[in-house]
Amino acid sequence: MGALRKPFLLLAMLALVLAVGVEVGAGLLLGGGDAGAALVGSAADLGVEVGDVRDVSEPSGRGLGYLVLVDAAALWTTGLFCLGLVLPDRLHGRLQGVATLVFSIVLIIVALVALVVAFVELMIMVSLFLAPPFGTLAYLALWGFFPVGDAAVLLGLALLLKLAWAALLILAQPRFLQNKGLVLLILTSLLCTVVLEFLHRLVPVILVSILDDLGALVFAVVAIVWALVLLIGAIPAIVKALRTTAALRAESDPHR
């Protein structure tokens, strides 16, 4: 199948880093726009007079930011491939298992905390929205006017970069397609991005924040699943590294 094409692998890593950067920066790039006029209009539809409304802004949402939890596993896996370019095979094999074990545990903890935060916020959203008129107005003031258009631009950019990442990985080494875990990880990352865009378009704008938070909840669960997969996969590598180290010590000290 040919040797590993290092430039394509490095470009794949760069594309994924940029995609994750877009997702991380979503909190700064989304939201903040004035939603006062929209709140007044929605309040009028509910038959409530709210007067002059100020300092009401669009929410940034959690969905895009929570995609990072899923893509962290993809970034880690691609990073390990790149690390193999600069480290000797023996050292790379020893470090890979332990480092992956630590990374997976950290990812599980972070994803669990994020899961709780998203769940609590989702419950608050639903409770307020289903408590008209004043609870609904409070919901509208905080989450009722999601910047769907801006989010679509960022999701499109992230999806394009992830497609480039997948294509460059295949160009770097077609045998990556034989790695079922890697293929599933790629498909998971792409699918989560597409699903979030679908959720943003599924309901009227005043309900988008609820589905966005629901998507964030799902992404946290998916990240935990992948972290567990990485953790389980790291154990054989650690055992193999320990056995190799023990064998080397036995060879170097035959009288021990």
pTM of the model: 0.85
Residues of the chain with pLDDT under 70: 1-2, 31-57, 86-94, 240-256
219-256 CB burial, b ≥16 within 10 A, e <16: bbebbbebbeebbeebeebeeebeeeeeeeeeeeeeee
**How many angstroms separate the CA atoms of 25 and 65, rounded?**
8
pLDDT tens string 84-97? 776 666 666 667 88
pLDDT, position 137: 81
pLDDT tens string 47-64? 555 455 555 567 788 999
